[in-house]
Structure 1
Amino acid sequence: MMPVQTLTLPHAQEPERLYTCPAFSEQDYSILNTLRLAAMGCRVAARTDLFEACALLFVDGEDAKRTYVDTFVKCLPEALMRRIKWLRPGTTEVSFDEAWVLRCLSRISADDHDSLGFLLRSQIEPGQRRYIGFLLGHISEQFPKI
């Protein structure tokens, strides 16, 4: 019987370097905390049908910020067909769902419709994509105002 020989591995990186991910900007965390606060407030609110909510959203001014964010947070679980993981406001850790939302918003601000379409197709039910895109677009417009 032949002895088993182990191969040497190339120099491995330190564990903390393996798990680092690109950090989000201060503006991204500001938007994320706004969404997280809205999610905390919407936990006890009644669920809203996505189509009806989007049909009613024709608001301007100061109310637009909160209305679009609240509607998005309330309706996103329906569009994803599952619960959304929102972390506590102020947490630097980001869940998959939160990172997905931030990536969608960054693609809108970069005017990258192809990547946005891919992100929406990857997570959102076909009949809901238009409405979620509508809400994300209006939230993106509110970035400087939030």
Structure 2
Amino acid sequence: MAEQNDDNRSVTLERLEEGVYQATNKRGNTLRFGSKADDAFSPVELLLAAIAGCSAVDVDVVTGRRSPAENFEARVDARYVRENGENHLEDIVLTFDVRFPEGEAGDAARMLLPRAIKASHDRTCTVSRTIENGTPITVRTADPA
């Protein structure tokens, strides 16, 4: 296996059965998913979870320095579109529902929340930045040798 730089991100995918897969990261963590895995996430749901999760991490870390949230939820909605034989998502909306306790620390976190959400969207969330930038994906076949 080739040596990887610290800036390289990768997962390996293994087919468990038709339509059911397991992704493994470099730390050995696994995630089962697929189009025929009724008890697991679909690939599209994983993409939506990645969008929410990436920004949630950013926002939680920044606001959590002021006060831990009493309630922290993020929801991603998107419209599935099939046009000209091609599938994609449109109208992706990430909604945060975050509540902080009363008091000075909670007030400080509440004041920071909109700025933290904007900073995550505009600069720090790798997932949504990659999608919005329209980063090309190269698809290839491994050399059998």
Same-fold call, TM cutoff 0.5: no
Q: Which has the larger radius of gyration?
A: 1
Q: Normalized per residue, which structure has more helix?
A: 1
What's the TM-score once normalised by structure 2's chain length? 0.22
What's the TM-score once normalised by structure 1's chain length? 0.22
